[in-house]
Amino acid sequence: MPVAHAAPDSIHIVFIPKSSDQVFWELMRAGVDRAVQEDPRIKLTWRGPAHNDDTEAQIKIVQLYTKPGVDAIVIAPTDRARLVEPVKKAVEQGIPVISVDSGLDGNYHVNFVTSDNEAGGQLAAKTLAGLLNKTGRVAILRTVEGSASTDDRARGFLAYMKASAPGISVVADVYGGGSAGLARHSAAKLLAAQPPLDGVFAVNESATDGMLRALREAGLAKKLRFIGFDSTEFLLTGLEKQEIDGLVIQNPRQMGYLSVKAAVDAVHHVASKNKILFTDTSMVTRANYKSAAIQTMMCSRC
């Protein structure tokens, strides 16, 4: 059983993102900083691994901050299963844990703040199927095995295609690695190994970045339909050039903000009405990406 503690006057929250090499986490940090600015009691420690495939590093960070003086941990788990034991130990020490962005097995975490990732994958599939008139050959480029958020996106994508676009064949479904560089290499191998594809879906920022670079290098940019996930200036340039047809974007600023608020509530023993808190998801296209609503979701300084 967790050790009961009185709510402190100052609140030390340790925020553990998946990596430090993606714009997505910069956007989330902006939301976290907004929550911190609103509550002067909060002391924030932000520390994560360099890449989102370094689960060992993330486990060590959780272990490092499972100690007196830490009041709550917010974590975006790189692996839904392997992070359970270190999270359990933190909870047993009386430190409430909030999961953000990516799911965590078990019931040790107080809240899970996330996009509806299966719905995001379905939106990607619906958009791609429409572009292809529900016929053709497509491939999925994932990131790392065990990443709940991205696996949920792929699951939603596959479910939609099976149910609503049976004329589309998913001929390749591969894990590309936890960085844009690894994703580019994996995408290049995928493109070289397949007969001509009609479309591709990449499940996160690094996979989308890697796929765009691989398509350019192979001379295939603009020659097949491409739906990605997340946004950066590089990816938006691809969208403008018609090399990318759509980007499913989340609201990492909102995720960061709500996860810190949930952590503060947990420290003060305020029960949450909902264990899972869903945040916004939208499809960005050349037609809407300059709109105020979309720009706000993608801006780290807004």
| CATH number of the domain residue 42 falls in | 3.40.50.2300
Does residue 151 share a domain with residue 65?
no
| Segment 202-215 mean pLDDT | 97
Q: How many residues does the chain have?
A: 302
Which tokens is 132 given?
Answer: 């292809």
Q: What is the domain extent for residue 176?
A: 117-249
Q: Is there a domain that residue 294 lies in?
A: no
Q: Confidence class of residue 291 from pLDDT cuts 50, 70 and 90? A: confident
**Whose CA is closest to 18, among 91, 83, 115, 68?**
83
Does residue 213 share a domain with residue 107?
no
Q: Is there a domain that residue 295 lies in?
A: no
Does residue 180 share a domain with residue 59?
no
Which tokens is 212 given?
Answer: 């765009």
Does residue 153 share a domain with residue 142?
yes
Convert the pLDDT of each residue in 72-95 to its tens digit.
999 999 999 999 999 999 999 999
Does pLDDT of 293 surpass 80? no
Convert the pLDDT of each residue in 247-277 to its tens digit.
999 999 999 999 999 999 999 999 888 899 9
| Segment 63-70 mean pLDDT | 98
229 vs 82: CA distance, rounded Å: 25
Query: What is the residue-averaged pLDDT of the chain?
Result: 93
Q: What is the predicted pLDDT for the residue at 288?
A: 92
| Overall number of domains in the chain | 2
Does residue 245 share a domain with residue 132?
yes
Does residue 84 share a domain with residue 39?
yes
Which tokens is 209 given?
Answer: 């970045």
Does residue 206 share a domain with residue 90?
no
Does residue 149 share a domain with residue 88?
no
Does residue 95 share a domain with residue 55?
yes
Does residue 161 share a domain with residue 95?
no
184 vs 172: CA distance, rounded Å: 16
